[in-house]
Amino acid sequence: MKKTATKTETVDKKIKAIVDKYKGDKTALIAVLQDIQDACRYLPKDALTYVAEKLAVPVSRIYEVATFYNAFSLKPQGKHLIEVCAGTACHVKGGFNLLEKLERELDIACGDTTKDELFTLEQVRCLGCCSLAPVVRIGGNIHAFLTQDEIPKVLKTYKEM
């Protein structure tokens, strides 16, 4: 088959390495997308067309998977991902107030990224740290028994990172 002008040549080396690792295994689609999400903090369009070509999976299927699962984002994410736990224990202990405080403090709505691309604010379905409720995870670090009062200080430490 004649090679069409895909983005294969222009796609990032990092992405190539990830996709090549799975040796065209179609069933590994989710794992491939997870690795790309981890590496780029989102799923770039050209990466997805490259995945489609290498795994021989239609782009439409990849789009279906990428939009089905909460772990994937098609928009670039901020440097620090803020995940506010919305588990039952956190809800009972007022976790929703933390989300509203973060929205006010960062001046963005849940799901959005700040203009300086430092923070992306998201709500997550239970981090399984119910004994520490309410919790917020920022860049993988769990902040336990968080209060609204502490939020500005916590955000500051990440801004300075």
Partner 1 sequence: MSKINTREALDKAAKKGLSTLIPAKIKITVGMSTSGIASGAQGVYDALAAEIKKRKLSILLTKTGSMGMDCMEPLIDVMAPGKPRLSYAMVTAAKVPQLMDEIAKGTLEPIRPFYRTDGEQSLITGEKIKFVKGALPKELKEIPEINEVPFYKKQIKIATRNCGIIDPENIDEYIARGGYSALAKALTQKPDKLIDDVIASGLRGRGGGGFPTGVKWRSCREAEGDIKYVICNGDEGDPGAYMDRSVMEGDPHSVLEGMIIGAYAVGAHEGFIYVRNEYPLAVANLSKAIEQARANGFLGKNIFGSGFDFDIRIAKGAGAFVCGESTALMASLEGKAGEPRAKYIHTVEHGLWNRPSNLNNVETWANVPVVIARGGKWFAGIGSKESTGTKVFSLVGNVKNVGLVEVPMGIPLKEIVNDIGGGIPGGRKFKAVQTGGPSGGCIPAKLGSLPVTYDELSKAGSMMGSGGMIVMDDKTCMVDIARYFIEFLESESCGKCVPCREGVKRMRDILEDICKGKGKEGDVELLQSMSQAIIDGSLCALGGSAPNPVLSTIKYFRDEYDAHIKEKRCPAGVCKPLITYSVLKDKCTGCMRCAKVCPTKAATGEKKKTHKINKKLCIKCGACLEACKFGAIKVE
Among residues 70, 154, 145, 156, which one has the least CA distance to residue 111? Answer: 70
* CA proximity to 126, closest of 92, 87, 91: 87
Asked if 158 and 138 count as a contact pair (C-beta separation under 8 A), the reply is yes
- Is position 65 an interface residue for partner 1 (rule: CB under 8 A)? yes
Selected from 14, 21, 26, 45, the binder of partner 1 by CB under 8 A is: 26
Cα torsion at 46, 50, 53, 56 (round to 10°)?
A: -110
Q: Does 40 interact with partner 1 (rule: CB under 8 A)?
A: no
Please check whether residue 151 is in contact with residue 101, taking contact to mean a CB–CB distance below 8 angstroms: yes
Site string for partner 1, 86-125 (x = CB under 8 A): xxxxxxxxx--x--xx--x-------------------xx
Look at residues 7, 65, 9 and name the one whose alpha carbon lies nearest to residue 37: 65
* Residue 147 near partner 1 by CB under 8 A: yes
Q: Does 129 bind partner 1 (CB under 8 A)?
A: yes
Q: Verify binding: residue 130, partner 1, rule CB under 8 A.
A: yes
Residue 58 engages partner 1 in binding (rule: CB under 8 A)? no
Binding site for partner 1 (CB under 8 A): 26-31, 33-34, 61, 64-65, 68-72, 86-94, 97, 100-101, 104, 124-133, 135, 140, 142-144, 147-149
